[in-house]
A and B are shown apart, each in its own frame.
Chain A
Amino acid sequence: MSRQTRDGVLNPAYHDSETLQMGRGSAQRPPQQNPYGSTERTYDEGLQASGRQDWDSAEHIPMASLAGGQSWDQQPGGLSNAGYEWDSASDPGGARAGDFREQERPRLRTKRSSILRQLRMRNSSLFFRGALSSSALGWLRLTAEDTQDKTAQEEQQLIIELVAMSFYDRVRAIRQLPVSLHEKKQIRKRVLLEKTSKKGRINWYMDCRDNFYLFHRRCSTFVTNAYHTLQLWQGGLKDIGGKFGSSILSYFLFIKWLLMFSIFSFLVNFGFITVPQLFDRDTVNNGTFKGLELLTGEGYFTQSVLFYGFYTNKSVTGGSSSNSTGSLLPYDMQLAYFFTISVYFVLCCLSLVYSAASSFHKNFMSASELSRSGRLLFSWDFRVSNDKAVRSRQKNLSTQLKELLSEHLQQKLCMTFDERIKRFGRHLLAWFVSSGLAIGCSAAVYFLCLYNVNSSPWNNRSDLTKEASTLLLPIVVSLINLIVPLLYSLLRNIEFFTFPRHELYTLILRNVILKMSIIGVLCYYWLDKVVNCGIPCWETFVGGDIYRLVVIDFFFCLFACFFGEFLHKVIGTRFFPRLGVPEFDIARNVLDLIYAQTLAWIGIYFSPLLPLIQIIKLFLMFYVKKFSLMQNCHPPQRSWRAAQMMTIFILILFFPSYVGVLITIAVIFWRITPSSSCGPFRGLNVPFDVIANWIDSITLPGSQWVVWIYNNLIQSVLFFFILTLLVLILIYVYYQIVVGRKKLIAILRDHIANEGKDKAFLLEKLKKLQSQSMSSLYQDPSLEAMGSKDIQDREVRGSSQSRTPSEGTFPVQLRRAPSLQETSNRRQPTSFSGERQSARDAEREYVLPNVLQEPQQQPWPGAPGFQQAPPNYIPPDYPVDDDSSMEGGTLPVSDALAQALWARRQAEDEEEEGRY
């Protein structure tokens, strides 16, 4: 690896690498120079009097070995041009890893993505050309013609590449150029012109492809346009985002996502189960509709398509059963019911895994390295447009930053043993209380269920009071769901978390445990107690229970919105201002949604039209929550890591929730005997027998493969064993790849840091050589005029230290940003020797045996950490530019630089080898 990094210097393409990114910025504000110039000068001169000679002698080493076929100053403008090329070399997407091999550009062009990447890369320089200031050019000694030539060349190259692309790629490439629309238009025009002029040479295949893409694009724009018109709640979401930012918006987007889920499941169930059932005229509903059913799901509804019990187990043919010889193919309700439910769950699984994985990949894997301060700084919410919201956001951000900084300081404080014990005790107590609450609630629900099933005579349901009494269980469950989380959040007063993030995660974990244990108990009750207690159509009974739970949960949500948030606000604003306006609790609300979704999933088997209820519920919930939010709440005080939290919620939705439901459904399909008097599976031992019966009945000659698959794959243990083995092997392979990539990343990071050092080193040398060669041009009035304006400007802003004559003439190159100079002035020159030692320890030392006389003592400025140097940092002594000591500047600038760099790298190599 270390060898590879050294190759660059011999390579002409090194011009393109990031190492030489001097950039306009570096040009305007000379970056890597000794800011301590004049204060240290006398000292430096004394110390360096001997070292300088060797610096100079190093520059005369013949460069034959380095020339490598192409001299660097063949480029127009010499090495200085590399600075201008900075932006072309800094690839927006891929500068991190692969671009050290920029010299391989032509070979990489096979892949579309790499083309796009390169295009973007090249064209960032197009965009900067207008902004490049004259002073920067002046410093780099570039003329306007030079840059124009360069840009024109690049443009030409770009256009040639674009012409060679297919239509689709071209559109994408042009769209992704970071230039203004006007320039994009120009580029497009030129490309089209070029294309029409070459028309004769383009074969019909390309034409065909272009036409296809055109057609495809029209179709896709039509679809996206239609989708945009259909977009639900666009305005509402914009309002919320404008006032509360993306964190709360994510809650509403979650509602929308669940709504889409429910709509899909409703369409599937309605289309494949309910519609065929409606054609079956044998089963008729003879109940009467009273109104209370809407709440309880009893009475009229038990005899309707809403519940399992109503569905027939026969084949539906479109007419009445007497007319079964009709022309339509018979539609087997049993199979339809089984397949619809299972296919729906498989699709759910795929979509959940996909969204969970992609969101995990996007938000967790890559987000790990960045600290919170960086995240806070670079992700200002541009959506927020409300003036008050902006101000409160700024205030929040400021407090958070301040907290963060103080946290940073406190992190190093160690806790004593006593404190740790105390803290551990507090957490233990809190966990004890919370799990006690969860267990108690589950037990209460369980005994209430038992009481319910024993006391309610299901055969006499018409009685109104009895019907209403079925509401007891859902009300208790909803009350638990409402109150216990509030108690949980009170626990925060017992345990004092250092990090709010831990508090949040603990709260979520406790709530999930509570909700899942309640649902678990309910499932146990339904699948064990209800099944075995002799209810004639237990599926419908369970369906009714779930229906009530879903509906009552909805009412409690409204209730909580009104009494919780509204009353809190009234009390907080009128009576106890200390209480304040309620904060919208995203975590609790999202967990409520997850709970409701879990119920809806379980209910699908028992009540195929439950998604309809869920759709209505979510739809109303959106408006209610939005209204309550707008009227009562204020945005959360802390920054909410919206993207990461959404990932966690999707994972929760997947892991305990969906997986639990899947297990329940699997138990129902494979283990539980369906009731014998109602529903599509009546008379079967377990619902899965449907498949066995169907396989037995297959007699069509062409469909033997279905039977084969069933016998040899589905029913074979060996098959699943091998499948599991394969999956495990795959996982292991991927794991190894991940480990390898991590190593590679670490190596590449080192690489970048090394290149950074090279860059700093080269800049230093360049500065030196240029000052020398410019002093030979000293009398040139045009150059002087070019620099002087900028010089004066900086002179005013910079400190007013005295300077050596050469520095005074070309201070642009020799001065740092003023702020740094000021810090350097604060240092006490008297204490330098001890601090120098420490600085030497802190930094890597660069050994330049051929260049410096005292190689071991010379850390060079511009090394890592140079700008972040501690306040007492004394810069290492560094050979000062001195025109007289350079022997006339006979070497070309680039050669001398390459030479020096090469020498430094060799020295490093030797040092490394010595170490091993």
Chain B
Amino acid sequence: MGSSASQLTKELLSEYQELTFLTKQEILLAHCRFKELLPKESRNTMDYRVPMEKILTMPELKSNPFRQRICYVFSTSEAKDGSLSFEDFLDFLSVFSDSATPEIKSHYAFRIFDFDDDGTLDRNDLVKLVNCLTGDAPETRLSQEEMNQLIGNILEESDIDKDGTVNLSEFQHVISRSPDFVSSFKIVL
């Protein structure tokens, strides 16, 4: 802990505290964990980006079906390769923390579920979402017919303006109606 504190200056720490939903302890812990992901020689540089493959080895994300989406959404990398800098990592933890507001959580949930990054959840996104939730095994996959019916049901109740896709505000409206969301949209280090 001592060595990590030496890297994060006091100003930086308080700035992070101000800008994220994390407490001081959580930021320090995140820093510790992030440093473990860095290669030995670059542990002292703050702006190193950890490649996505490395991030996905973390036990908290290892088996999450949305792990790659999470990386892509939080990555600010120019190359769109899903690599995370420390600030991206903090961002990720902040959104998934206890104290993040439901608005922020649902906003990012929407982006995670929006597989093609086009700003709406259309049929293809929903199909991918359902496939992620039910897993790849052939016995758990839904048949085409079931899928169509399910997505029909979803659109029927979430697509308020009836344009065939679920946009952000419709999604947030749905989320506000499912109380389990906020408690389950959490990842703790």
* A92 contact from B60, B118, B168, Cβ within 8 A: B168
Which A residues lie within 8 Å of B64 (CB)? 382, 384-385, 390
Number of A-B contacts (CB under 8 A): 257
Asked if B161 and A756 make an inter-chain contact with CB atoms under 8 angstroms apart, the answer reads yes
CB-CB under 8 A from B164, the residues of chain A are: 31, 866-868
List the A side residues contacting B20 at CB < 8 Å. 175, 181
Query: A21 CA to B62 CA in the complex, in Å?
Result: 37
A402 touches B18 (CB 8 A): no
Nearest B residue (CB) for A132: B119
CB of B5 closer than 8 Å to a CB of A: no
B63 CB-CB contact with A under 8 Å: yes
Q: Do A124 and B130 touch (CB < 8 A)?
A: no
Residue from A401, A752, A864 with most neighbouring chain B CB atoms (10 Å): A401
B188 to chain A, nearest CB (A): 5
B57 within 8 A of A: no
B63–A386 CB distance below 8 A: yes
How many chain B residues touch A (Cβ–Cβ < 8 Å)? 89
**Cα–Cα, bound, A245→B113 (Å):** 20
Which residues on the B side are within 8 Å of A408 (C-beta)?
A: 149, 153
Is A171 in contact with B18, judged by CB distance below 8 angstroms?
Answer: yes
Given contacts A225-B25, A377-B130, contact A91 B120 (CB under 8 A): no
Q: Could you tell me if A367 and B141 are in contact, using CB atoms closer than 8 angstroms?
A: no
Contact B161 A23 (CB under 8 A): no
Which parts of B95-146 form the interface with A (CB within 8 Å)? 96, 101, 103-104, 106-109, 113, 117-120, 122-124, 126, 129-130, 132-135, 137, 140-142, 146
Residue among A24, A225, A246 making CB contact with B183, cutoff 8 Å: A246
Question: A644 to chain B: which residues have CB within 8 Å?
Answer: 179
Task: Indicate whether B42 reaches chain A with its CB closer than 8 angstroms.
Answer: no
Residue of B nearest to A170 (CB): B18
The CA-CA distance from A729 to B168 in the complex, in Å, is 41
Residues of A within 8 A of B152 (CB): 868
In the bound complex, do residue B157 and residue A90 qualify as a contact, i.e. CB atoms below 8 Å apart? no
B8 within 8 A of A: no
Q: Cβ of A245: which chain B residues have Cβ within 8 Å of it?
A: 184
List A contacts of B177 (CB < 8 A): 366-370, 374
Q: What chain B residues lie within 8 Å of A171 (beta carbons)?
A: 18
Instruction: Kindly identify which residue among B76, B122, B156, B157 contacts A180, using a CB–CB cutoff of 8 Å.
Output: B76
Contacting residue for A377 out of B88, B94, B129, CB 8 A: B129
- Which residues of B sit under 8 angstroms from A369, Cβ to Cβ? 157, 177
Contacts of B129 in A (CB 8 A): 377
Judge whether A109 is part of the interface by a CB distance below 8 angstroms.
Answer: no
* A221–B24 CB distance below 8 A: yes
A28:B169 contact, CB within 8 angstroms:
no
Give A250's nearest chain B residue, CB to CB: B183
- What residues of chain A lie closer than 8 Å to B117, measured between beta carbons? 131
Given known contacts A175-B20, A405-B146, A18 and B118 CB-to-CB distance under 8 angstroms: no
Give B5-41 as 1s and 0s: 1 = Cβ < 8 Å from A's Cβ atoms.
Answer: 0000000000111111101111000000000000000
**CB-based contact B162/A756 at 8 Å:** yes
Report the bound CA distance from A319 to B188 in whole Å: 53
Query: Considering only CB atoms, which chain B residue lies closest to A866 in the complex?
Result: B164
**Contact between A753 and B153, CB atoms less than 8 A apart:** no
Whether A378 contacts B179 in the complex (CB less than 8 A), given A756-B160, A756-B161, A819-B123, comes out as no
Residues 19-44 of chain A, each 1 if its beta carbon lies under 8 Å from chain B, else 0: 00101111011011000000000000
A394 CB within 8 Å of chain B: yes
List, in ascending order, chain A residues with CB within 8 A of B179's CB. 362-363, 366-367, 643-644
Chain B residues 70-106 with CB under 8 Å of chain A are 74, 76, 87-88, 90-91, 94, 96, 101, 103-104, 106
Q: Convert A326-367 into 0s and 1s, putting 1 for each residue whose CB lies closer than 8 angstroms to a CB of B.
A: 000000000000000000000000000000000000110011
Q: Judge whether B52 is part of the interface by a CB distance below 8 angstroms.
A: no
Is A228 at the interface (CB under 8 A from chain B)? Answer: yes
Which residues of the partner chain B approach A377 to less than 8 Å between Cβ atoms? 126, 129-130, 133, 154
When A90-B167, A366-B176, A402-B146 are in contact, do A819 and B140 touch as well, CB less than 8 Å? Answer: no
Interface check B46, CB cutoff 8 A: no
**Are B169 and A92 in contact (CB-based, < 8 A)?**
yes
Interface hits, A865-880 → B, CB 8 Å: 865-868
In the complex, the answer to whether B180 meets A642 with C-beta atoms within 8 Å is yes
In whole angstroms, how far apart are the Cα atoms of A375 and B118 in the complex?
Answer: 23
Q: Does A184 contact B (CB under 8 A)?
A: yes
Query: Are the C-beta atoms of A380 and B103 separated by less than 8 Å?
Result: no
> Which A residues touch B171, using CB under 8 A?
378
State whether B21 touches A401 (Cβ < 8 A): no
B165 touches A31 (CB 8 A): yes
Known: A24-B118, A26-B120, A367-B178. A759 touches B62 (CB 8 A): no
Which residue of the partner chain A has the closest CB to B162? A864
Give CA–CA (A389, B63) in the complex, Å: 9
Q: Give CA–CA (A641, B129) in the complex, Å.
A: 20
Does A104 reach chain B (CB closer than 8 Å)? Answer: no
Task: Chain B residues near A375: list those with CB within 8 A.
Answer: 178, 180
Nearest CB of A to B149, in Å = 5
**Please, how many angstroms separate the alpha-carbon atoms of A96 and B142 in the complex?**
33
Question: Among the listed B25, B63, B119, B169, which residue makes an inter-chain contact with A24, where contact means beta carbons less than 8 Å apart?
Answer: B119
Chain A contacts with B in 750-770, Cβ cutoff 8 A: 752-753, 755-757, 759-760
Q: Is residue B173 within 8 Å, beta carbon to beta carbon, of the partner chain?
A: yes
Distance, CA A171 to CA B16, complexed state (A): 11
Residue of A nearest to B161 (CB): A756
How distant is A225 from chain B, measured CB to nearest CB, in Å? 6
- Nearest-neighbour CB distance to chain A for B95, whole angstroms, equals 9
Q: Which residues of B contact A865 (CB under 8 A)?
A: 162
Q: Which of B65, B132, B161, B174 contacts A370 (CB 8 A)?
A: B174
Quick check: A405 and B140 within 8 Å, CB to CB?
A: no
- Known A29-B122, A178-B108; contact A394-B140, beta-carbon cutoff 8 A: yes
Q: How far is the CB of A61 from chain B (nearest CB, A)?
A: 27
* A466 contacts the other chain (CB 8 A): no
CB-defined interface of A179-195 with B at 8 Å, one 1/0 digit per residue? 01110110010000000
Cα A124 to Cα B110 in complex, Å, equals: 12
Query: CB-CB < 8 A to A378: which residues of B?
Result: 109, 113, 171, 174-175, 178, 181
Report Cα–Cα, A402/B161, bound state, in Å: 27
Question: In the complex, A224 Cα to B26 Cα: how many Å?
Answer: 12
Contact A373 B150 (CB under 8 A): yes
Contact A93 B119 (CB under 8 A): no
**0/1 string, A828-870, CB within 8 A of B gives 1:** 0000000000000000000000000000000000111111100
A759 with B163: CB separation less than 8 A: yes
The answer on a CB contact under 8 Å between B107 and A124 is yes
A453 CB to nearest B CB, Å: 48
Say yes or no: is A715 at the interface (Cβ < 8 Å to chain B): no
* Bound CA–CA A180/B103 (angstroms): 15
Considering the chains assembled together, what is the distance between the CA atoms of A256 and B122 in angstroms? 42
On chain A, the residues within 8 Å of B2 by CB distance are none
Q: A86, A176, A641, A756: which contacts B103 (Cβ < 8 A)?
A: A176
B134 touches A398 (CB 8 A): yes
Which of B90, B107, B168 has the largest number of chain A CB atoms within 10 A? Answer: B168
- A380 to B18, Cβ gap below 8 A? no
On whether A185 and B15 interact (CB within 8 A), knowing A96-B173, A373-B150, A378-B181, the answer reads yes
Contact yes or no, A385 B169, CB < 8 A? no
Further contacts, 13 of them, CB under 8 A, given A374-B158, A385-B62, A757-B162:
A96-B169, A131-B119, A174-B18, A174-B19, A241-B188, A374-B154, A377-B126, A405-B149, A643-B183, A752-B160, A756-B162, A759-B163, A760-B163
Ranked 10 nearest A-B pairs via Cβ: A756-B161, A867-B164, A394-B135, A95-B169, A25-B120, A864-B162, A643-B179, A398-B140, A25-B118, A398-B134
Report which B residues bind A (CB closer than 8 A).
Answer: 15-21, 23-26, 59-66, 74, 76, 87-88, 90-91, 94, 96, 101, 103-104, 106-109, 113, 117-120, 122-124, 126, 129-130, 132-135, 137, 140-142, 146, 149-150, 152-158, 160-165, 167-169, 171-181, 183-188
**Could you list 16 examples of A-B contacts with CB < 8 Å?**
A31-B165, A92-B107, A180-B87, A184-B19, A221-B24, A225-B25, A241-B188, A373-B154, A379-B184, A382-B66, A383-B186, A395-B137, A405-B146, A756-B163, A817-B122, A862-B163
